[in-house]
Amino acid sequence: MWRDLSPVGRSASSGGYFRQPWASAESELRAWFAAECTSRGLVVETDGIGNQVAWWSPASGRSEEPGVLTGSHLDSVLDGGAYDGPLGVVSALAAIDLLRERGFEPARPIGVSVFVEEEGSRFGRACLGSRLVTGATTWDEARELRDRDGVFLADAVSAAGLDPAQGLLSLDRVATFVELHVEQGRDLVDRDVAVGLATEIWPHGRWRFDFAGQANHAGTTRMEDRHDPMLTYAMTALAADKQARLAGQRATFGRISVEPNGTNAVPSLVTAWLDARASTDEALAEMVALIERQADERAGRDGTSLVVTAESVSRSVAFDPDLAARLAAIGDWPVIPTQAGHDAGILSAAGIPTAMVFVRNPTGISHSPDEHAETADCLAGVDALADVLTELARSGAPE
């Protein structure tokens, strides 16, 4: 499976992946996933925006029982790594193969899922596919989202050959969701263990900062006469870094656009996106408000103006502690927090009992072509997922 996936959407120069949703590489992966499921005799459903689920129904005909769903995503950030997302999908399919080799017969349906636009790398809303399925975001709201080229979501979806009018996946038959994911940090490698479970997802969000100033000549305009939005932005980026360090949280400006982006002109507009994350909802709100206040003060001194827009906010998620403890006991695995958002967080927030299985990342690096996971650890993850699915799908009534 990894051999099939490796070349899809891969940059020849960086070795990173560009699998933005509803573009060619990700559409190719959607077809790959359907073929992998069909070859395993799983019944595949692709909904109106490209979310997919495939079910292994019990031979005992008890396919009406609520099922156990496992899966992740196949889209990537810009120039992303190979494992963030695909590891959860490949491991889910491999776990089904392993269960069948073991002669396991599920007492309840086992499903494999792929949610689209988990990264929010094209339309700016994290976990857009799972938010639409759970109703956390409505289609009326989402259809207005536009990508960097101004393409509306609805047009991108239909250009990919999908029809939103077909409706969305239903999770009514899902009793438990488990997402396996490469760890995006160093907790497991520092503990020297291959597998862990998740306790929580930190609250996080994305805010767009529009700094407007006065375009002018880079040479003839005296420094004291300028209203330069680049300065207001630059101070804000430094302020965000300082506040995050002081508070022990996370703040990143990784994306910026400048208008008109000329070399010999003071810019008229600088737009920058803040990705902020904190250990609690209150700490996140407090840190973002402080950064915004300091940006406003600087704008006052620069004679520029600032508009801040929240584009994607994910509240703190605490996974079901009993479920996490029950599953951690299987392999005596550690239970650890993550600062990375996941579809598992969206399903948990929608009231579906959810767990996450993490696989060791030897460097902790993610959202980078350098992201890596050792084969032995990936196989340990498949083993662990098979044991988790056995625990969740071996008995009839949901515990």
Residues that bind ligand HGY (CB under 6 A): 118-119, 126, 340-341
User: Alpha helices, DSSP H only, in 40-114?
Assistant: 86-101
Nearer residue to Mn ion within complex by CB, 197 or 212: 197
Enumerate residues 72-91 that contact Mn ion by CB under 5 A: 84-85
Q: What is the rounded CA–CA span in Å between residue 358 and residue 197? A: 6
Measured at CB, which residue is nearest to Mn ion? 84
Closest CB to ligand HGY among 118 and 147? 118
Q: If 0-12 CB within 10 Å is exposed, 13-18 middle and 19+ buried, where does residue 184 land?
A: buried
d(CA 361, CA 336): 14
- The values of phi and psi at residue 218, to 5°, are -70, -20
**Least CB distance from residue 341 to ligand HGY, whole Å?**
4
194 touches, from Mn ion, ligand HGY, none (C-beta below 5 to 8 Å by class): none
Residue 340: how many CB atoms within 10 A of its CB?
21
**CB contact at 8 A, 229 and 261:** no
- Report, in Å, the least distance between residue 298 CB and ligand HGY: 27
Nearer to ligand HGY, 84 or 387 (CB): 84
Closer by beta carbon to Mn ion, 85 or else 164:
85
- Name 397's Cβ contacts closer than 8 Å, sequence gap at least 6: 65
Taking the least distance from each CB to Mn ion, the nearer of 85 and 185 is 85
For residue 122, the SS3 value is coil
As given in the structure block, the two tokens for residue 215 are 């375009």
For ligand HGY, give the closer residue by CB, 5 or 212.
5
**Minimum distance of ligand HGY from residue 346's CB (angstroms):** 11
Chain residues 86-125 in contact with Mn ion, contact rule CB under 5 A: none
Shortest distance, CB of residue 324 to Mn ion, whole angstroms? 19
Contact by Cβ (8 Å): 363, 205: no
The least distance separating ligand HGY from the CB of residue 202, rounded to whole angstroms, comes to 9
* E strand intervals along 59-138: 67-72, 110-114
126 binds, among ligand HGY, Mn ion, none (CB under 5 to 8 A by kind): ligand HGY
Which partner, ligand HGY, Mn ion, none, binds residue 341 by CB below 5 to 8 Å per kind? ligand HGY
The CA–CA distances, whole Å, from 115 to 338, 390, 398 equal 20, 23, 24
Least spacing, CB of residue 204 vs ligand HGY, in Å = 6
> Least distance in Å: CB of 248 to ligand HGY?
18
- Give the number of residues written for the chain: 399
Q: Which is nearer to Mn ion, 71 or 213 (CB)?
A: 71
Residues that bind Mn ion (CB under 5 A): 84-85
